[in-house]
Amino acid sequence: MTQSKPLVGVRVVEFGTLIAGPFCTRILAEFGAEVVKIEAPGEGDPLRSWRKLYEGTSLWWYVQSRNKKSMTANLKHPDAVAAVKKLVAGADIVVENFRPGVLEKLGLGWEVLSALNPGLVMVRLSGFGQTGPMASQPGFGAIGESMGGLRYITGFPDRPPVKTGVSIGDSIAALWGAIGALMALRHKEVNGGQGQVVDVALYEAVFAMMESLVPEFDVFGFLRERTGNVMPGITPSNTHTTKDGRHLIIGANGDAIFNRFMKAIGREDLAAAPDLATNAGRDARAAEIYGVIDAWVAAHTAEEVLATTAAAQVPASRIYSAEDIFRDPQYLARAMIETARLPDGREFRIPGIVPKLTETPGSTEWLGPALGEHTDEILAGLGFSAEEIRKMHQDGAI
């Protein structure tokens, strides 16, 4: 197996902060792209100080910016803008997640950059996209999740909508951004195409994941509502609590799986019931079925339940905490928990790389860099002399 990476030779410039843009470039960097992250001098990405800090730096930062290079540039200084233009002129991809119009005001909009580099692919992640009446409005992932339809159906029917435990809207948008960038590169390489803009709106990124929401409303006037842990219209799939207080997910909604599960828990009568042989029949008796499963799970420990479901080949799992993940042999077998070192040498764990490529796998080469760690190196590579770089530092351009 070769250890090369599929994006080696691809150069990416990131004008991004926090989540959507930086997560998009993180994916590219993990698979070999050279990613230069542009950060404001003295400040940097706010993510550097978000959530849990270790000696003043966010642990999230070390993961989100792994394999990237950090270059500081004051984008309000003409010398910095000139240097960044020179950098972009030799790049394949630019990723940015500012509000539409911000880069244009800095003299770094699409028209300017594409004139410098006609083959450039520019990924633009924003709340509402580059066009439309809301384009200029600010929009974070939470707004995208709300407007995209996800928040409305998340939670229990007798309570207000709830969020997922992570910034899922930003992350979904980042994935679409990476996919779009790779499609645009493919177009250039195979079809002889020019560069183009990949326009990703956070609300549209979420909306694209909403399954059959649109046609069901249009054809039947069906308005999907919050249903808690039940998978609406697909039975049985739910959360259950064991005798020892653990919460488990059991998904026995396949026809053959349901039959095996009912036999495994001693309900041959339900396994043999003709009307329960298909999902439509089970869904009509969902309350009864869930009552049976709830009672059976509550009479057993988590270990007993999972042993039974495993033997019957029924999909089931504990609802994992971070502690569960650290101990899980499946995670460990697939290298999803990596060991890295903090700047002071302390070992710590970071998530592994997704997806797994058999011939050209991604990897962690280094963790999120110090602010401006690669500025001088990058400028020197662009042809700036040591004296020019020194003066740019002195003038506050970098």
Q: Are 141 and 173 in contact (CB under 8 A)?
A: yes
Alpha helix ranges (H) inside the chain:
20-30, 59-64, 78-89, 102-105, 110-116, 141-147, 168-191, 202-207, 213-220, 255-264, 268-272, 279-284, 286-298, 302-311, 322-327, 329-333, 375-381, 386-395
Q: DSSP of 316-375, one letter per residue?
A: EEE---HHHHHH-HHHHHTT-EEEEE-TTS-EEEEE--SS--SSS-----SPSPPTTTTH
Please tell me whether the peptide bond between 274 and the residue prior to it is cis, using omega within 30 degrees of 0. Answer: no
In the annotation, is 170 catalytic? yes
Supply angle C-alpha 225, 230, 232, rounded to 5: 50
Alpha helix ranges (H) inside 241-321:
255-264, 268-272, 279-284, 286-298, 302-311
Q: Are 96 and 105 in contact (CB under 8 A)?
A: no
Alpha-carbon distance of 219 to 217, in angstroms, equals 6
In the set 45, 79, 158, 170, the catalytic residue is: 170
Alpha-carbon distance of 350 to 62, in angstroms, equals 9
Distances (CA, A) of 137 to 21, 100, 207: 17, 8, 18
Tokens (6 digits) for 378: 């990058």
Closest C-alpha among 205, 143, 174 to residue 22: 174
Closest C-alpha among 194, 203, 196 to residue 180: 196
What lies within 8 Å, CB to CB, of 161 at 6+ separation is 146, 151, 152, 153, 154, 155, 226
Helices 168-191 and 20-30 sit at what angle, rounded to 10 degrees?
50
Return the active site residues: 170
